Structure 1
Amino acid sequence: MRRRAFAASILLSLVTLSAYAEVKEAAPDHLLILDSRTIHAPPDKLYAALTDVGHWWNSEHTYSGDASHLSLKAEAGGCFCERWDGQSVEHGRVIWAAPGHVLRLDTALGPLQSMAVTGVMTFTLKSTPGGTTLQFEYRVNGASGSALDKVAPVVNEVLADQLQRLQRYAETGTKP
């Protein structure tokens, strides 16, 4: 009986892991990363956490080395920016903000910015019993020489970490 319970728990953990971020498509000229997860927080609370990016983003993936320098103004044209010591970086720009429902950014994150590619990142929130289903999509397009298929696994790994940190922050209210 114990063996069955153990096997079932391993199977369940594999199913749970496969539900998280994955590279759905990758070619030299494009990549698509998808993630869907249930977060135990209502949509409005999750949306508030999402826009409080400086509290959950991993500092290792900032230019300044400190996520507290990040801000996100959740309105059309709003900046997902980092400001420190007289310097600033626009990581993205909000192109759709519907509190509690959708946040979409025009963003080529990190090293993608210097590759002259375009990226669209969408967070869609849907109320479910016990919380919110967060559907995440990051679509990046560029020239065939962009070699996006080569960077897709690293981009996916970074985004999977960020989404996990967002989930912990939304569910607990504490920095991950």
Structure 2
Amino acid sequence: MKFLLAAALALATTAAHAEVVDAQANGFEVRREAVLNAPADKVYAALIQPSAWWNKDHTWSGSAANLSLAAMSGGCFCEKLPGGGSVLHMSVVYAQPGQGLRLFGGLGPLQMSGAAGHLGWTLAEKDGKTTLTQTYDVGGYMKGGLDKIAPVVDQVLGEQFDRLKLYVETGKVP
């Protein structure tokens, strides 16, 4: 079973178009796009449940079960930490079921810099399939330059994108 999930994840990875669109010392943009074999409402429903598909290795707590996303303007993409702590990863600035979701803030090490970003997903359904586009535009200051971290951010967000795609299409992630 693990082999089948790994093979499916590999196929999901190759099916997505990914790139660092631009990378400069003061900012970068990463972008991913793929066609998911599901209607937009199903994709959106999965998108707003990151605890189901986000990789635990990219959380502060070590458990994706601690993630939550309140899909409304002003809502929080947050994480519970042991001992009663918490992390606000990003704030929701736009939520439209079946159409798109936009968040503002800094993920991971960007929280410890003078940089912030806009993470957006756009959904476009046609014939029961959904084209999902993910962009993350980051600007501001980070010692050494934001261009240096862009490929790593692209890789981490790409992994999450691929896991979301796999979750939507199979109901499982590795």
- TM-score, with structure 1 as normaliser: 0.87
State whether residues 21 and 159 of structure 1, in contact with CA within 8 Å, keep that contact through their aligned partners in structure 2.
Answer: no
In the TM superposition, what whole-angstrom CA distance separates every residue of 1:35-77 from its partner, at most 9, and x where no partner exists?
Answer: 1100111000000000010010000000000010000000000
Question: Which residue is equivalent to 1:24?
Answer: 21
Distance 1:36 1:172 in 2: 18
Give aligned-pair identity as a percent.
Answer: 46
How far off is 1:148 after superposition?
A: 0.7
Per the alignment, residue 76 of structure 2 pairs with: 79
Counterpart CA distance in 2 for 1:46 and 1:19 is 15
CA contact (8 A) 1:28 1:145 kept: no
Is residue 54 of structure 2 the alignment partner of residue 61 of structure 1? no
Structure 1: runs of 5+ lacking an equivalent: 1-12
Report the CA distance between 1:118 and its aligned residue: 1.4
**Aligned: 1:106 with 2:104:** yes
Question: How many residue pairs are counted as aligned between the two chains?
Answer: 162
Label 1:35 to 1:70 Cα distance change in 2 as closer, same or farther (>3 A): same
Q: Shift of residue 116 of structure 1?
A: 1.8
Larger-gyration structure (1/2): 1
SS state at 1:117 partner: strand
Change (3 A) 1:151 1:131: same
Determine the structure 2 residue equivalent to 1:156.
154
TM-score calculated relative to the size of structure 2: 0.88
